[in-house]
Chain A
Amino acid sequence: MVTTDGLPSGRSIRTLIRRFERRHAPATGRAATLVLGALGLYVVAGLLWWLFTPPPTVLTASSVLVTEQPWTSTWGWAVAAAAVAAGAAAGRAVGPVTISAELGFWVSSTLLDRGALVRGRVVVVLGCGALAGAVVGRIAAFAAALTVWIPVTVLTTLCGVVVGALCVLVQCRLLAAGTVTILSRICALGSVAAVCTATAGVDVALPTCWWPVAVVGALAAALAVVAVRSCHRIAAAELAAGAEATVAVSASATALDISALLGALEQKSWRRIGRRRTRSLSGGLSWALIRSDVLRHLHRPVSLAPVICAIGAASVAPLVTAPPAVAVLYLAAVFVVAMIFSAGLRDVLRDRDFGAVLGVDDWRIRWPLTVVPAVAAVLAAISTTILTGGTVTTLAIGLVGGCAAAYRVRTRPSISYDGLILETAVGQIPVDLLRQWLRGPDVLLVAAWLAALFS
């Protein structure tokens, strides 16, 4: 087959796609995109303004926190380390550089310069890292009540760039995948150690001078340059790896429903596990369903990590926050535990044919799958009450509220988008959609108010 010598640039292909798109898409769609873009800019600008204008003691002097606590800079380290751990893990989970499946098949598989196609995305990743780093820096400065906050904020901004660049370098196969995982785990452990140190009242000063900033700045600049220059090395396998998670992030953000993201991450985790030893599920349908719910966690013990984190956070809460906030965190911990252990309920209710397959009515499937989450929530509630010295009232509110909210979320039917929409002067209000989204959070809000009231 004859081909031309010159190939189109990545930009000209994008122009071509946009030209095709304009031919079919209605003009109102473009106007909506503009409005959404302006709204996004407004929200980001407002967030930045809010972060950079409050006084240094806005957090430590708030009524939510225990103001008698000697607020040390160590809390700032804890926040920064936790953010780096979470950022590195999230970066690898979503790619961080991805392209959609259709772009992968129809465009990036051609002879076009791969670097030109993804370079803009690499810059966006680095920018997002910097923005997240700046936000974390401000929160760390608030946690430490720093008056000289600019060096710390610049430092964490650069750390954000470093984390983003390291994730990209792993995708470029210039770094081993384990590098970012090890960094994430070290920072997670560092964060736990910093919390322990901070609660012991030890002060580890955050940098207020500029030389650490210069060092990290040089590192960030070098890594960013290498990441941008090497992005042509990102292969289809790496581009596709995080695409599913990215689609799930987008779907979760659009539908305000985190279950899409959690489901995608869970699927990925199961694929990584591959296989487990088969166990017998004999003893009647109810017993088999209960056993299957237990096996979910035996086969994937890592799912218990958020449970430990939730109970740990609720246990540390009385040291740093006021009783109403402790009661709310306690409720949140029970809710998280109930949600994690009720994944079986979600799975069977997502597919309404499950009952037909098993030849029983819906209720005979539903109740056995509430046993494991209920037992787990009771154990979590009692252990947290003992650790935090909570009252019977907060125990009861936390247990009932957390379990009821989790049950309502898990038994929520699939979202329907064609319900009642009110036309108002400020735009459309999707009443029916809000009603569906509030199934679960409504109980949680009421329980949180009661827990704070009776604490």
Chain B
Amino acid sequence: MPIPDSRGVPAVSIRNAHRSFGDLPVLTGVDFDVAPGRCCAVVGANGAGKSTLLRCVVGVDRLDAGAIDINGSPVDETSRAFRRTVAAVLGDVPTFAHLTAHEHLQLVATGHGVPDPFDAATRALTEVDLLAVADRLPVTFSSGQRRRLALTSAFIRPRTLLVLDEPEQHLDTAGRSRLAAVLESEKQLGRTVLMVSHDAELVEAVADQVVDADSW
């Protein structure tokens, strides 16, 4: 059921979304909106199509039918305006074998025109408590450290919509608390968050809107 948006155009608008693999339907008529500055959590059982929906929202997969609009414009991953708006972390993140964690973040910062990428990467790593391993190659990271690096790649760049697929995965208790605080501050800054999560506490703490994928 679409939630009426009192502030004009929804940040994310999903209309009658359909997606199937072969003759296996994954999304069948999904319909909801997320208002700007709100956090929407999509919850539900494994295989309900939550991650597929997020992939379609960020443009790395396509709907068979229906439409997804971001700030009133259709999803077009090739446009700079879209890439400037949407920061996403979906699943495991591939890394260059020969670059350090710090260098990875410098690449993202440089590509987004962040002034002084070196300092920005240092600050970002400090915030997620990874500065001590900044010079290490990510292949040597634990799964939790890789997750934190991936999330940092989204936090280091400008954005108005943050799309996260199970961001709590592999994080320890302190990491989850920090994540909740960061997501809360995203909302305070007027940014929108769309996430899939199986962590009831995280959803309870930050979500303004919960969409149940089992009811699609």
Contacts and interface: CB of A to CB of B under 8 A. Distances in A.
Interface of A: 1-8, 13, 16-17, 20-21, 24-25, 100-102, 104-107, 109-112, 114, 232-237, 240, 271-275
Nearest to B99: A20
Given A13-B111, A109-B83, A235-B77, 14 more contacts: A2-B115, A3-B114, A5-B113, A8-B110, A13-B110, A16-B110, A20-B99, A21-B99, A110-B157, A233-B78, A235-B76, A240-B60, A271-B22, A272-B21
A102 B157 contact: no
Nearest to B56: A237
A32 B98 CA distance: 16
B107 A13 contact: yes
A106 B157 contact: no
Interface in B104-118: 104, 106-108, 110-115
A194 B165 CA distance: 53
A172 B24 CA distance: 27
15 contacts: A1-B157, A8-B113, A21-B99, A25-B98, A100-B94, A104-B94, A106-B104, A107-B111, A109-B111, A110-B111, A110-B157, A114-B78, A236-B60, A274-B21, A275-B23
B45 to A, nearest CB: 17
A274 B24 contact: yes
Interface of B: 20-24, 59-62, 76-78, 80, 83-84, 88, 93-96, 98-100, 103-104, 106-108, 110-115, 137, 153, 157-158
Contacts of B107: 13, 16-17, 106-107, 110
B78 A110 contact: no
B111 A105 contact: no
Nearest to B60: A236
Central interface residue in B93, B108, B111, B114, by most chain A CB within 10 Å: B111
Contacts of A272: 21-22
A352 B23 CA distance: 33
B138 to A, nearest CB: 10
A237 B158 contact: no
B59 A236 contact: yes
A3 B60 contact: no
A3 B20 contact: no
A232 B79 CA distance: 9
Contacts of A1: 114, 157-158
B83 A237 contact: no
Contacts of B59: 235-237
A102 B95 contact: yes
Contact of A4 (B23, B62, B94, B115): B115
B113 A274 contact: no
Contact of B112 (A16, A24, A111): A111
A16 B104 CA distance: 11
A455 to B, nearest CB: 45
A310 to B, nearest CB: 27
Contacts of A236: 59-60, 77
Contacts of B106: 16
A104 B107 CA distance: 12
Contacts of B113: 3-8, 111
Contacts of B22: 271-275
A17 B96 contact: yes
Q: Which of B20, B59, B80, B88 has the most CB of A within 10 A?
A: B80
Contacts of A16: 106-107, 110
A280 B111 CA distance: 54
Nearest to A4: B113
A16 B83 CA distance: 21
Given A3-B112, A236-B77, A111 B153 contact: no
Given A1-B158, A7-B111, A102 B77 contact: no
Nearest to B84: A111
Contacts of B77: 235-237
Contacts of A240: 60
Q: Which 9 A-B pairs have the closest CB atoms?
A: A274-B22, A110-B111, A274-B24, A101-B94, A274-B21, A102-B94, A3-B113, A275-B24, A1-B158
